[in-house]
Amino acid sequence: MCGIIGYVGRRTDAGVLVVEGLKRLEYRGYDSWGVACKTEEGIVIRKDVGKISAVNPSDFLQPSSLAMAHTRWATHGGVTPENAHPHVSCDGKVVVVLNGIIENFEELRAELAAKGHRFVSTTDTEVIPHLIEEEMKNEGQRTEDLGQREKENAFPGPRSQVPSPSPDFAAAVRRACLRFEGRFGIVAMHADVPLLVAARTGSPLIVGVAEDGYFIASDTPAFIRSTATVQYLDDGEMVVTDGQSILFSDLRTGEEREKREIAITWSAAESQKGEYEHYMLKEIMEQKQSIARAVNQDIDQIETLARAILDAQGTFLVGCGTAAKACMAAEYFFSVIAGHHVNFAPASEFKLYHRFLKPESLLIAVSQSGETADTLEAMKIAKSKGAKVLAIVNAEGSSIAREADYTLHINAGPERAVASTKALTGQMAVLLLIAYAMIGKLPKGRTRLLETAAAINDMLNPRYTEFIETIAERIQQSSDLYIIGKGWNYPMALESAIKIQEVSYVHAEGFAGGELKHGPIALIEKGTPCIALVGNDEVRTDIVSNAIELKARGGFIIGIAPARNDVFDEWIKVPDVDTAQAIVNIIPIQILAYFLAVKRGKDPDMPRNLAKSVTVK
């Protein structure tokens, strides 16, 4: 969701640093932006609706060693400059940015208004600086002795480094956070104190450890050009830094927490577009390598996880959006390959399954970002019943990865386009590998997937993408598009619809081929584009028959299949890869969705109303 970056340290170009970092968070999706810099004249704030990419970082060259910036994705309150972050207290000294939702903001707003606080926005976020300001007033009234105040929730770094007002500020932030309900990540600064203070409950925040100071951000690309060393802020924790020293603590008790420094394994160059016009196309093409990286797993770990699934009394797969479609495909992998039953549920619906959970159950949570709110909630429910959790994620050090009992990384590398592509195929590759391990045929599974990666490398050539572009040109004016599949191609039909919807804004729907006669076929008329996902498997004849039914009603049939069929008006050839067919069949759809977006004048990297990481429920 929202992008956050803050910096405090010895550099004097903090404003430039945070603006440049904010631009590297554009993939998260947003509608407005804002920057706050602490200068000799006080805190200077600039914010507006629109794109931060249009802002020149040199506009923020005014000397500053403390700054923070934010991109907002509207939840409470419309898209206006007043609602953009940062938000400020009445006295103009407390400045805050938020990722998440303060669910009890209306109650807090009424309480603060009754005490004379004035609000200028309609957001939930604005209650935060006002409440911190109020808590600082209360602190001053509660005790006049600074030594006693330092004893209570003070910044415990070297006292010579911390100005005397800082204990008030850090303690006030903590007390304010304890009153909030909901999932949030907060970063705050004060006009009189050279500190960044941050806290999280649900929404991710990561510390970047640089030689000249500290960054606090919602994702590592924000500061990757300055440092590849991070410290992770866990749920229910707070961090305070003056740029020289840093303190992590329990948000509720104030107890100090020790943190390891961890090196990020990918480079800044990996997160750039390079020769490609858009991240989405770059990430589609990277599947030449990313699937092979997903297969490069520790054999002993894969076999251990396979045994855990076999030994579990009830295994559940959960994910959201595209990750959910990987879970649905895995239901077929485990059934067809391993002869083993697992249960899929969208993570947002999983709370209704708690009655089936017991300590012997296993939850497999699948996520690209590792920060998806509904998936984290499903994990919490499973753990409350004593069940074990396996996480399959792309983001190293993410909340889901850290909270799981077992974690497998798909090693896809940074994925910046909002529409997930290479993460999906990496997730399916890992799940397919586990299915083979469950029947003692892990080497066969590895060979199958490496052969698939090689076939994809051959498939993704310029002539191939140019051919798909011509199909996109032909159907770009269509208002409706339908995709059918059967077996593991059924969840890929659903995923195909997601991809086309989210980047091109064409109305698209995916169906199980056999369900056509139960209603959807009424939507077909002359020229309606219909895509059939086909493999050389036991359901091939059925799905071709369904395609014939669509053509008989006037449908324009685009076949994605290893072999040509007379029913196809256009044939997009894919390699025949047996059990990995779902992986290769989805890739032409990704390319088609991309070109549909471009030809319709849409930005495929940043679809409207969407965010890369959905950290609120």
Catalytic positions:
2, 612
Can you name the residues that pair with 147 across neighbouring β-strands?
Answer: none
By DSSP bridging, strand 529-533 and strand 556-561 are parallel
By DSSP bridging, strand 529-533 and strand 94-100 are unpaired
465-480 exposure pattern, b = at least 16 Cβ within 10 A, e = fewer: beebbebbeebbeeee
Rounded Cα distance, 349 and 329, in Å:
18
Residue 330, Ramachandran bin (φ over 0: left; ψ between -120 and 50: alpha; else beta): alpha
Q: If we measure between CA atoms, which residue out of 543, 593, 582 comes closest to residue 565?
A: 543
Rounded Cα distance, 413 and 157, in Å:
36
Token couple for 222 = 């924000």
Peptide bond into 607 cis (omega under 30): no
Give yes or no for a contact between 481 and 309, defined as CB atoms under 8 angstroms apart.
no
Specify the residue for token string 């690309």: 221
Distances (CA, A) of 516 to 496, 521, 525, 550, 585: 17, 5, 14, 9, 20
Specify the residue for token string 């004893």: 151
Which helix H or strand E contains 70, and what residues bound it? strand 66-72
Residues 6+ apart with CB under 8 A from 373: 183, 202, 614, 615, 616, 617
Rounded Cα distance, 430 and 282, in Å:
22
